[in-house]
């Protein structure tokens, strides 16, 4: 079977067939029953209702344990390879909803080691980017009393013993099969998955009590957590439960916003003019002429502007459906949609950038040393 798309933790390319990806990876769809169950803990987040978080592993088991009084913790993170863009914020915003809904702690990992090993970046650069990216995370307003940020190279003393235990159970054959490594892979890249697995087991290791873990993240990270879940029982660690989202779309119409194409990517530090320019050049579902569009209507399904509203900037279901309808009937033109989205993004970024500046004090004071759960 030929694959027209590729999704690994380090490469996402092609037109992603999310259904097939789910089957290939062996994850479970988030169905109506699970949505109803999740809705019982608080109003469902739009990313769940809209199928942006669309598949999972072991969510029902996790909720069963939660219902019996076993508190879990959340774990997500960031590979600091460049400036934060809107796509990175998406799973973090969802993680905050989970934290607020379930009142649980959250562990956030910054993988400065990973990006050093996989990218043409120095450790000084990935460390600097970690501090910079942490500003965006803190700016989202997580509960500081129950949120911890880990920087791999700083907190390695806590992570390394767990990573060793994971590593002893994973052969090169497995790493090769799961991640597609060949013999030219560097030996740090081969080892790295153990470091990404470690935070999922850290509270269990530190407390000596099995502590359930829920990881909300992009579906591209599943290879790491397949490995982590496979080895967990043999190490007396609980298998982490997973909630996976689709990739945040690029402005060029592609399936994933890419840090390497600045024009298709809105960074959290972009100014109003940058946003206006980038949104203005975005790929839409509109027709070539105004007349044609008024007559035939646009196609919101392929439109980057519509996707931005759908994924992040229009949480009101009535309004998003109304927008789709008006587009299809030719009642709204691309220019209007672009202007409206530009305003929404700029309004969001204005607030985010102010909170980001306030976060500086928190992040500058972070030493990461002596991290204990």
Question: Which residues sit at the interface with a copy of itself, rule CB under 8 A?
Answer: 113, 116-117, 123, 153-154, 156-157, 160-161, 163-165, 167-173, 175-176, 181-191, 193-194
Cα four-point dihedral sign 86, 280, 343, 308: negative
CA distances from 317 to 34, 321, 328, 342 (A): 20, 6, 17, 20
Say if CB 260 and CB 120 are below 8 A apart.
no
Nearer to a copy of itself, 228 or 324 (CB): 228
Q: How far is the CB of 131 from a copy of itself (least distance, A)?
A: 16
Is the Cβ of residue 123 or residue 290 nearer to a copy of itself in the bound state? 123
Phi, psi dihedral angles at 17 (to 5 degrees): -95, 100
Q: How far is the CB of 165 from a copy of itself (least distance, A)?
A: 7
Assess contact for 210 and 204: CB atoms under 8 A. Answer: yes
Nearer to a copy of itself, 65 or 128 (CB): 128
Q: How far is the CB of 361 from a copy of itself (least distance, A)?
A: 25
φ and ψ at residue 16, rounded to 5 degrees: -80, 125
User: What's the CA gap between 370 and 293, in Å, rounded?
Assistant: 61
Question: CB 208 → a copy of itself: shortest distance, Å?
Answer: 13
For the CB of residue 160, give the shortest distance to a copy of itself in the complex, in Å: 5
Write out the H or E segment, with its range, that includes residue 163: helix 152-167
Residue placing its CB nearer to a copy of itself in the complex, 175 or 345: 175
* Cα dihedral across residues 216, 218, 221, 222: positive or negative: positive
Of residues 159 and 245, the one with the C-beta less far from a copy of itself: 159
- In this complex, which beta carbon is closest to a copy of itself, that of residue 170 or of residue 324? 170
Q: Minimum Å distance from CB 166 to a copy of itself?
A: 8
Give the CA distances from residue 123 to residues 48, 116, 193, in Å, rounded to whole numbers and listed in that order: 36, 6, 18
Length of the chain: 373
- Residue 159 beta carbon to a copy of itself: minimum distance, rounded to whole angstroms: 9
User: What distance in Å separates the CA atoms of residue 315 and residue 43, rounded to the nearest whole number?
Assistant: 12
Which CB sits closer to a copy of itself, 116 or 308?
Answer: 116
Cβ neighbours of residue 368 closer than 8 Å, sequence gap 6 or more: 149, 150, 151, 154, 155
Nearer to a copy of itself, 18 or 116 (CB): 116
Quickly tell me which residue has 């102010």 as its tokens: 354
Least spacing, CB of residue 62 vs a copy of itself, in Å: 28
Q: Tell me the two tokens of residue 356.
A: 């980001």
**Nearest approach, Cβ of 164 to a copy of itself (angstroms)?**
6
Strands 73-78 and 106-110: parallel
Is residue 213 within 8 A of residue 241, CB to CB? The reply is: yes
Name which of 48 and 150 has its Cβ closer to a copy of itself: 150
Beta bridge partners of 75: 107
């Amino acid at each position: 079977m030929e694959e027209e798309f590729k999704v690994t933790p380090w490469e996402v390319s092609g037109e992603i067939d999310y259904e097939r990806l789910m089957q290939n990876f062996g994850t479970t769809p988030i169905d109506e029953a699970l949505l109803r169950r999740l809705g019982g803990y608080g109003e469902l987040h739009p990313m769940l209702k809209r199928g942006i978080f669309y598949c999972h592993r072991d969510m029902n088991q996790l909720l069963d344990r939660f219902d019996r009084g076993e508190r879990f913790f959340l774990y997500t993170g960031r590979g600091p390879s460049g400036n934060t863009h809107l796509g990175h914020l998406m799973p973090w915003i969802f993680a905050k909803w989970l934290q607020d809904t379930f009142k649980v702690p959250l562990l956030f990992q910054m993988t400065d080691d990973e990006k050093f090993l996989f990218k043409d970046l120095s450790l000084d650069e990935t460390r600097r980017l970690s501090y910079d990216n942490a500003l965006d995370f803190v700016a989202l307003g997580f509960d500081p009393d129950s949120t911890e940020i880990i920087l791999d190279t700083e907190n390695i003393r806590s992570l390394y013993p767990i990573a060793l235990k994971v590593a002893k159970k994973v052969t090169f054959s497995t790493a090769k099969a799961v991640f597609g490594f060949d013999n030219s892979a560097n030996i740090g890249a081969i080892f790295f998955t153990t470091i990404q697995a470690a935070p999922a087991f850290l509270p269990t290791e530190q407390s000596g009590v099995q502590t359930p873990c829920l990881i909300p993240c992009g579906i591209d990270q599943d290879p790491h957590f397949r490995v982590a879940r496979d080895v967990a029982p043999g190490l007396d660690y609980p298998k982490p439960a997973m909630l996976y989202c689709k990739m945040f779309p690029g402005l060029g119409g592609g399936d994933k916003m890419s840090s390497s194409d600045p024009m298709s990517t809105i960074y959290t530090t972009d100014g109003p003019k940058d946003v206006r320019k980038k949104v203005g050049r975005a790929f839409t579902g509109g027709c070539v002429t105004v007349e044609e569009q008024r007559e035939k209507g646009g196609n919101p399904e392929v439109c980057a502007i519509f996707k931005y509203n759908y994924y992040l900037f229009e949480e009101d279901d009535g309004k998003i459906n109304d927008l789709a309808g008006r587009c299809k009937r030719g009642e709204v033109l691309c220019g209007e949609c672009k202007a409206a989205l530009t305003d929404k993004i700029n309004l969001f970024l204005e607030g985010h950038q102010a909170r980001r500046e306030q976060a500086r004090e928190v992040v500058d004071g972070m030493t990461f040393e002596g991290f204990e759960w």
